Structure 1
Amino acid sequence: MSINQNFTHFLSQSDAIGQGLFMLLLSMSVASWYFIVVKAWQGFTVRRRSQHFLTQFWNAASLDEVAENLNQHRDEEPFSHLTYHAINATRHHAIHGTQRLQEAGSAGEFLTRAIRRVIDEETAKLEWGLTALASIASTAPFVGLFGTVWGVYHALLGIGQSGQGSLEQIAGPVGEALIMTGLGLAVAIPAVLAYNDCVRSNRLLLAQLDAFAHDLFAFLTTGSAINAMPESNGQLRKPALAVVGEQ
């Protein structure tokens, strides 16, 4: 008998618990691949938009130009989101001062809180779906194993009632029951690989975002300017942080 025939025969011989475990594994597989596809697309989109924004940011003549571009074409990605709220926080504190508890502290402290809040929001966005992937990866093998144990129990029970205990009578039902273990592993392995890849990608992106936040904080609190340094071919290199004066 082929695997498909064994599997079909196993389902036809299973009771409600066995079929329910199979439906549970099927649901976990569908959910796992949904998160895998969505997270892969989101990661690709975020990296592409972030690279585009950073290129525009470092080639901008001033932060005013960056702020104007953000107001006109605001991208929903971590770096532009952080820049938009950091610039708005600086302007807000300059206008309103410390009139409310929300603006308490110096301009640098208020900006730091705004930056931390945005980074926390972006971290939560990046971690969306990871709990589900981790749960599926850790529980799917045990669900499959439980299905196997339940299937073997019913197979041996049927063999005992028939009174035929030959190898041919045992190997078929037990082999069919072992399919559930394979299904559990088939569900868990992609979830594990996707989870590890997402965690690594998020860690790298957040490290870049944290480094960018330090540069942005220096721009907004020390009066730094972006100096474009032309190369010999007339194109612009990535500008350096040039401090022009303390506020």
Structure 2
Amino acid sequence: MLLAAAPAAEENPYGIKAALEEGGPIAWATFGILVGMSIFTFYILFTKLLQQNKIMAQANKVRANFWNAGSLKEAATKLEKKSAYRAITEDAVLAMDQHGKLTDPVEQHDWLHGSLERSKNAIGNRLQEGLAFLATTGATAPFIGLFGTVVGIYRALIKIGASGQASIDAVAGPVGEALIMTALGLVVAVPAVMAFNWLQRRNKAIMEDLSAFTTDLHGYMMSDGRVKPALGAPAKTATAKPATTAPGAAAATRNAPKPS
């Protein structure tokens, strides 16, 4: 004897799918825009985190090995080919080589400083790529959701006017669509704002490290390698223990007259 199949569960008439179908093309378009913005937000977040972590790892290698090399070219070879710090070093070496070819005299200090700043700013611009989209998403997603809310409320008012009474079954669909759009706008906007602020803070820390490196590199090149940054913790100065004084000598010292 075969068991009768259980009847399929009825679809929720007030779920998100039913609300979108109730809203029609406008609701689906608003939903699609918000979902697309959310996908790109997390894509930018993960790709920028990978980029930032890579540069931070390069900074650790610079602290460990760069300043122990005999020359800048040797130090640059210890870094990865696509390292931000290697790009700055190679630009600095190229700037020093090009300085002697200038027909209009320019101070070597100013020429090298400008080259280092230009190279550092180029890396900073690459770090900022994509963050404008996060800021735009955080600012506009609530308003896009609000647009869907307004459309849902408008459809609810039309149903009320057509039916002549504000019954729950007449307005539940459009009002549900309006609330869903409001929630989606906030769900998309909040992660985008948090990701933007977090990535901006990490970029600031990276740029501070790059600024310190360019300053150290500038001093190193202007002093022909005699000026280097202090590496590691400074050595502790040993405190000398007081010498043991014989009892007789100590008594004589106590009884000695004090200088006037």
Question: What TM bracket, shorter-length normalisation?
Answer: 0.7 to 0.9
Aligned letter for 1:50?
A
- Out of 72, 75, 81, the position equivalent to 1:63 is 72
Aligned letter for 2:29?
G
In 2 relative to 1, CA 4–111 (structure 1 residues): closer, same or farther, beyond 3 Å? farther
| Shift in Å, 1:117 | 0.9
What is the distance in 2 between the residues matched to 1:217 and 1:228? 11
In 2 relative to 1, CA 202–85 (structure 1 residues): closer, same or farther, beyond 3 Å? same
Partner SS state of residue 184, structure 2 = helix
| Shift in Å, 1:173 | 3.2
Once the two structures are superposed, residues 165-196 of structure 1 have per-residue CA deviations (whole angstroms, 9 ceiling, x without a partner) of 13454345313321001101111111111100
Structure 1 gaps, min length 5: 230-236, 241-247
Alpha-carbon RMSD across the aligned residues, in angstroms, is 2.7
CA contact (8 A) 1:11 1:18 kept: yes
Return 211-220 or 171-180, whichever deviates more.
171-180
| Shift in Å, 1:216 | 0.7
- Out of 79, 84, 102, the position equivalent to 1:78 is 84
1:9 aligns with 2:9: no
Equivalent pairs, count = 225
| Shift in Å, 1:10 | 1.0
1:190 aligns with 2:196: no
In 2 relative to 1, CA 150–33 (structure 1 residues): closer, same or farther, beyond 3 Å? same
Partner SS state of residue 56, structure 2 = helix
Aligned residue in 1 for 2:129? 128
| Shift in Å, 1:113 | 1.4
Aligned residue in 2 for 1:244? none
Aligned positions of 1:58-207 closer than 5 A: 58-67=67-76, 69=77, 74-94=80-100, 96=101, 98-99=102-103, 104-167=105-168, 169-207=170-208
What is the distance in 2 between the residues matched to 1:221 and 1:131? 38
What is the distance in 1 between the residues matched to 2:13 and 2:41? 23
What is the distance in 1 between the residues matched to 2:13 and 2:82? 46
Structure 2 gaps, min length 5: 1-9, 235-260
Return 46-55 or 150-159, whichever deviates more.
46-55
In 2 relative to 1, CA 217–227 (structure 1 residues): closer, same or farther, beyond 3 Å? closer
Aligned letter for 2:27?
G
What is the distance in 2 between the residues matched to 1:125 and 1:30? 21
What is the distance in 2 between the residues matched to 1:200 and 1:63? 31
Aligned letter for 1:116?
E
What is the distance in 1 between the residues matched to 2:29 and 2:195? 26
| Shift in Å, 1:198 | 0.9
What is the distance in 1 between the residues matched to 2:144 and 2:32? 11
Aligned letter for 2:15?
N
What percentage of residue pairs aligned between the two structures are identical?
34
Aligned letter for 1:147?
G
- Looking at CA atoms only, which structure, 1 or 2, has the larger radius of gyration? 2
CA contact (8 A) 1:226 1:239 kept: no
Aligned letter for 2:82?
E
Once the two structures are superposed, residues 3-51 of structure 1 have per-residue CA deviations (whole angstroms, 9 ceiling, x without a partner) of 8952111111113222221111122112111111111111112211232
